Structure 1
Amino acid sequence: SYLFGSILSVSNEDLWVMGVFGSLAMALLLIFFKELYFIAFDEEVARAGGIRVTLLNFMLVSVIAIIIALSIRVVGTLLIGALMVIPPVAAIRFGMGFFKTTILSALIALLSVVIGLIGSYIFALPSGAAIVLCLLVIFVIALAVNRR
């Protein structure tokens, strides 16, 4: 179950814990968005500009680790990997800048989860596999639409 996850095993307590930590993570990312963007663009210049790069990097890695640890039982390690890689890569294909790419990446992930869960229910497929399949379809569409 840790490899593929089990959405059916989610309890109300799990939802509350994930909601609280997810909200906290989003709040931290929104509060420090400019600093994180600056660090992603050029870490040395950010450090010279007085930004506490080590502290913000530790915060970002800690938030990601907590979200992954909370999500493994629900969605599985395979789906977490796919959700962390495929949506940003698909969103980057449109070359819209850092903030818009981040938003588009989140929308792609959300859309694929919703479509994947619906497809999983209709076609009696494992939910993780259906979500990853939707992610791959969206990625291929992004490749086809935005050929350079």
Structure 2
Amino acid sequence: MLDQAASRLAQEPERAAKILGAGAHSVMTVPLRARETTLGLAHFYRWQLPQPFEPDDLALVRDLVARAAVCIDNARRYTREHHAALTLQHSLLLRDAVPSRCSLETAHRYLPACTHAGVGGDWFDILQLSGARVGVIVGDMTGRGM
């Protein structure tokens, strides 16, 4: 991975010139890894202080990058799960409130309490029963997550 970063920098002479032109004399490249997946690379350059990076610098950067990688991975996971929850909920919500053969006319609107998330645990359904009867079911899921 680090060899790839050096190779890529060598293939981008303009970028390398900018880095050297800024006075950078030392670089640390650390992989952003979370849950055994490489998310990218973090590059740290030193240009103002004359001494190169030390082992303590590398330890600090590794810790910082590991924490950042977990945060990035958590944000990605949350986004995927939130999208899946919205898709599932929208697929379960009523399209036509009452079956077309029913003599009852209804209207409905779903507004989750947590508007920024756009998803909630409440649900409802309307069922046509025998004769002219209709069943209305309202429920609430407790807990969090899918």
Give the TM-score of the pair, scaled to structure 2.
0.24
Give the TM-score of the pair, scaled to structure 1.
0.24
Comparing both chains, which one has the higher relative contact order based on Cα–Cα distances under 8 Å and sequence gaps of 6 or more? 1
